[in-house]
Structure 1
Amino acid sequence: MMSKHPGTGSHTVTVFVFPGVRLLDVTGPIEVFTTANEFGGRYRVQIVSQDGREVITSAGTRLGADLSVDDVQEPCDVLVVPGGPEWDTLIKDDALLDVVRQLDENSRCTASVCTGAFLLAAAGLLNGRRATTHWRHAQELASRFPSVRVAPDAIFVQDGQMMTSAGVSAGIDLSLALVEDHYGAEVARSVAKDMVVFMQRPGGQSQFSVRTRAPHTHQQMLRRVLDAVAENPGANHTLTAMARRAGISVRHVTRLFYEEVGTTPARYVEQVRLEAAQALLETGDDPMPVVARRTGFGSPESLRRAFVRHLGVTPGAFRASFRTAGRGHEGSAVRGGAVVVEARVDDDELSAA
């Protein structure tokens, strides 16, 4: 995110709208930021259209604009670029893409909602970056823009100053994460409770996805290791294997993880494997031995221990929670709107896995 030290300063949010924009892509983030103002946030939200006039959304609703693009004089903290059903036409509009680039240059953080990722990609803003979009369009984003590293199972992805989110309501998840970054977890939690939404969704598409938030590192040797773990969690990722892959010593690998990622290699690998297992359990019907083998846990018992340790729920109960609306379900990993995470990991045990 933008800052690891939440404060009390004000933040300007610019929401770009255009004809055919999806209504919830716009109103979801606005609702989060304005609700945050009731709990200590200080957001100023402005809606900007290309010419300053109102636009008609894909739902037929009229949306007024506060400013035209040319009227935007001061930098903003967050630029929100929503999507729309006619994204295929929008990405061919050179004038619209020029506006996106202009607004991005004047923003400290640019965030897309749903198919808004196509606008960012077409404007060249996602080249070489990780990104996500609505699951239905993820493959299309990847094929049209091969320089974009698409993460189809993420609720949202942050790569540098760029953030992209999945379909429609995922813009709320992304906005909550920004609120937490700006003003702290308590403010974000209050907003989530007020809006009756998850502070953090359970599942492999967790908003704090280890695999998709692209830890910042300029160390290419470490980037190779991180990418290998993300792309194939079930492979051999012992310290020795990581060191061999990076072409450095085991001690150097451990030091780079502490310095660049902020955790140990063992913890990182287990977090990635856990998220991969969550994704399989959420969307598939593979038996537990298959899930355990594909995600690198080896056995159902090791998988079960990891789930209980981190999520407070067994893999079976986790899978069941995605087969029902959840009312009255016992053993849910969700408590008070957030997944309960207990970071107790045996590094030696994992390194030997």
Structure 2
Amino acid sequence: MPDAAVRRVVLVAYDDAQILDIACPSGALDAANRFGADPPYGIGLATASGRGVLSSAGIGVGGGQRLADVPARPDTLMVVGGIGHERAAVDGELVRQVRRLATGARRVTAVCTGVFVLAAAGLVDQRRVTTHWRYGAELAARHPAVAVDPAPLYVRDGHVYTSAGVTSALDLTLALIEDDHGPALARDVARELVTYLHRPADQAQISMFLAAPPGGDRLVHDLLGHVSAHLADDLGPRALAARAGISTRHLTRLFARHLGTTPARAVRAARTEGAAHLVRSSRLTLAAIARRCGFGSAETLRQAFLEHYGATGDTIRRMPDMPRARPRADRQTPGA
């Protein structure tokens, strides 16, 4: 098939890449082709040496093309992530070729820690990007000209797209398919892959790490899932009851029975835990984190940290691990 008749997608990989960062985008694009993407995607793997790569799982991925031999002006350039990103970002030949291909690409993307390679190539200076929550602070420290936002699942800044860790590559790729071919095809691909269509870009990575309720009621599970994914929204008892189609009185009974707490306290705990994750994984100010997580002010968040963890935001940021919540009986209500 002539090159002009396909959207040429170049996946840039290296040893110790995360295999899902390769499989999620290529699998979704392949499914789009089978469902009639027009023009279809031409998917290729490229490496600095032209050889296949050994993923961090120890599984080899072959069929690589040497980056220097890849024709200029691909439709989409995608740099995958993985624990090998450290070596990839200081591989002069790989970085030079990524810079060359990015110059003529319609769009430039990175999955997870692949953004470190884009940053090394100078391709994301003054741009807003995201990455795996664990590496946000490191990326910001190494590349102060890059606006790192570790909260969303993926970010678009002009023609540059970056995504969070691992499976968010699928969310990003579904978004690319929808941009190219519309929501109907993206929906078909999502159904084929038995996944959501697709999680919104601004859904917080941290929503996946917040504590799930112990056992019990499906409705409570669903509501807490909504809470953890929408920390900045109106999550008052009336709003939650309306979402569930029940009365606020019944909502309160369900939370008391299955969680041993009130809806308001459950929401406050989720917001506090989400804020603690952002404090540890980003360089955002306490005021910015407070806004992201539904607190009225930095001072309100500070009080929540003291109540929930017995520690300030600065202390939490310096801790080697996430703090544990204090037992409820030991928590002091602010001002008490």
5 Å-filtered alignment, 1:245-264, equals none
Structure 1 outlier segments of 4+, above 6 Å = 278-282, 311-317
* 2:100 matched residue in structure 1: 102
Structure 1 residues 314 and 172, CA, compared in 2 at 3 Å: closer, same or farther?
farther
Q: 2:276 matched to which residue of 1?
A: none
Q: Residues 314 and 73 of structure 1: is their aligned pair in 2 closer, same or farther, counting only changes over 3 Å?
A: farther
The one-letter amino acid paired with 1:18 is Y
Give SS of 2:42's match: strand
Residue 184 and residue 53 in structure 1: after superposition, are their counterparts in 2 closer, same or farther (change >3 A)?
A: same
Q: Is the deviation greater in 159-168 or in 80-89?
A: 80-89
**Which deviations, in whole Å up to 9, do the C-alpha atoms of 1:34-67 show, x marking residues without a partner?**
0101111111111112232222222222222342
Q: Is the 8 A contact 2:174 2:190 kept in 1?
A: yes
Question: Which residue in 1 is equivalent to 2:49?
Answer: 51
1:40 aligns with 2:36: yes
Deviations 1:258-296 (A, max 9, x none): xxxxxxxxxxxxxxxxx78x97898479xx9xx9xx948
TM score, norm. by length of structure 2:
0.60
State the distance in 2 between where 1:165 and 1:314 align.
Answer: 38
Contact in 2 for aligned 1:55/1:62 (Cα 8 Å): yes
Structure 2 partner of 1:214: none
| Equivalent position of 1:181 in the other structure | 179
* Amino acid corresponding to residue 131 of structure 1 in structure 2: V
SS at 2:137 equivalent: helix
- Partner Cα separation in structure 2 for residue 162 and residue 314 of structure 1: 45
**Tell me, which stretches of 5 or more residues in structure 1 are unaligned?**
1-8, 210-274, 324-353
| Pairwise CA distance, 1:24 | 1.0
The CA deviation string for residues 299-336 of structure 1, in whole angstroms up to 9 with x for no partner, is 8267559x84xx9999989xx9xx9xxxxxxxxxxxxx
The 5-angstrom pairing of residues 234-253 of structure 1 reads none
Partner of residue 58 from structure 2, selected from 60, 72, 76: 60
How far apart, CA to CA, are the structure 2 residues paired with 1:282 and 1:116? 22
Task: Show the counterpart of 1:197.
Answer: 195
Distance 1:314 1:10 in 2: 54
- Asked if structure 2 preserves the Cα contact closer than 8 Å seen for 1:133 and 1:165, the reply is yes
Mapped partners of 1:49, 1:313: distance in 2: 55
Paired AA for residue 300 in structure 1: G
Which aligned pairs between 1:1-353 and structure 2 lie closer than 5 A?
Answer: 10-41=6-37, 42-201=40-199, 206-207=200-201, 209=202, 283=210, 295=232, 300=236, 304=240, 308=243
- Taking only aligned residues, the RMSD between alpha carbons, in angstroms, comes to 3.4
TM-score, normalised to structure 1's length? 0.58
Q: Secondary structure at the match of 1:46?
A: strand
Unaligned runs of 5+ in 2: 213-223, 259-336
Higher helix share: 2
Q: Is the 8 A contact 1:11 1:77 kept in 2?
A: yes
Q: Structure 1 residues 196, 314: CA separation in 2 closer, same or farther (over 3 Å shift)? A: farther
In 2, Cα distance between equivalents of 1:193 and 1:102: 36
The whole-number CA distance in structure 2 between the counterparts of 1:124 and 1:313 is 52
